[in-house]
Amino acid sequence: MKPAPFDYHAPRALGEALDVLAEAGEHGKVLAGGQSLIPLMNMRLASPALLVDVNRIGGLDGIEAGPDGVRVGALARHAHLERSGAAAAVQPLLRRALRLVAHPVIRNRGTVVGSLVHADPAAELPAVLALLGGSVRLARRGGTREVAAGEFFTGPLESALLPGELAVSAFFPARPARTGTAFCEVSRRHGDYALAGVAALVRLDGDLCVAEARAACVGAGPVPLVVDVTAACGARAPRAADWAAAARAVRERAEPETDIHATADYRRHLTGVLAERALRDAAQDALREAAGG
């Protein structure tokens, strides 16, 4: 299939792009990696009147890793972030999640920020941003705003991005001391969307007991589902923590849907299995981090 007719603009400066988007309003769409937008246009599930290609704008492809976290520019590709040793050192969950995203060909073109804006609840990166409490920076003519992950994802394939705005970067907080992360998922074939997936974070206190534990589920609702399970397993050493109870708390909150690949009941059960596995793995990762790697 072919997309509906559209106008095309390729600005070379951020200000120019924001001016064009402001004029286009709800009729404009941003093209960065295009791994989600182009298929939607070809199937005519999206029919923007204007396509604003931002790939020629300098300064939007950076990855900045610092003590507080990792800021990823709008044109930074999945593969670029996946290979960044500095980013992995600051927040290891990024590399772990990115290795599960589609195939290398997709990761070479797709952008991290574009995946977040696409807001697919079955995708890995929205779950990572939500679990870590990250944010997305949105720019428009006249100013910028920072939107927390909890407010950014508003529904399936819906975000807080308004007409005339451009997502210029995303921020992923650094891993705190004595904190571990993990990402577990099951798909029918490598690179397919996961039938279910869970990202987990476990933080230990000075006595190496669980001080905080959270899980973020993929495909378990209209937006990334983050469940705080500290009450089920907190104040205990990882070996003595009731990870099964924590997994039940996650499973009870999950609201997956039935489709041609799996029933909702199966996905819910699988979410619980993966939650226990991811939480256990994150706790072991925390112990390794506490011991110095």
Residue-wise pLDDT tens for the chain (293 aa)?
789 999 999 999 999 999 999 999 999 999 999 999 999 999 999 999 999 999 999 999 999 999 999 999 999 999 999 999 999 999 999 999 999 999 999 999 999 999 999 999 999 999 999 999 999 999 999 999 999 999 999 999 999 999 999 999 999 999 999 999 999 999 998 889 999 999 999 999 999 999 999 999 999 999 999 999 999 998 999 999 999 999 999 999 999 999 999 999 999 999 999 999 999 999 999 999 999 86
Q: How many residues does the chain have?
A: 293
Is the domain covering 1-53+64-175 a CATH 2.40.37.10 domain? Answer: no
Q: Domains of the chain: which residue ranges?
A: 1-53+64-175, 179-290
- The 3-class SS string of 75-104 reads CCEHHHHHHCHHHHHHCHHHHHHHCCCCCH
Task: Report helix, strand or coil for 26.
Answer: helix
Name which of 65, 64, 63 is nearest 76 in CA terms.
63
How many CB atoms within 10 Å of residue 282?
Answer: 28
Give the whole-angstrom CA distance, residue 108 versus residue 76: 10
* Domain topology for 179-290: Enolase-like; domain 1 (3.30.390)
Report how far Cα 74 is from the mean position of its chain's Cα atoms: 14
Q: Which residues pair with 228 in a beta bridge?
A: 214
Task: Report helix, strand or coil for 143.
Answer: strand
Task: Report helix, strand or coil for 50.
Answer: strand
Task: Report helix, strand or coil for 157.
Answer: coil
Give the whole-angstrom CA distance, residue 236 versus residue 151: 32
Assess contact for 57 and 14: CB atoms under 8 A.
Answer: yes
Give the whole-angstrom CA distance, residue 234 versus residue 230: 5
Q: Which residues pair with 64 in a beta bridge?
A: 71
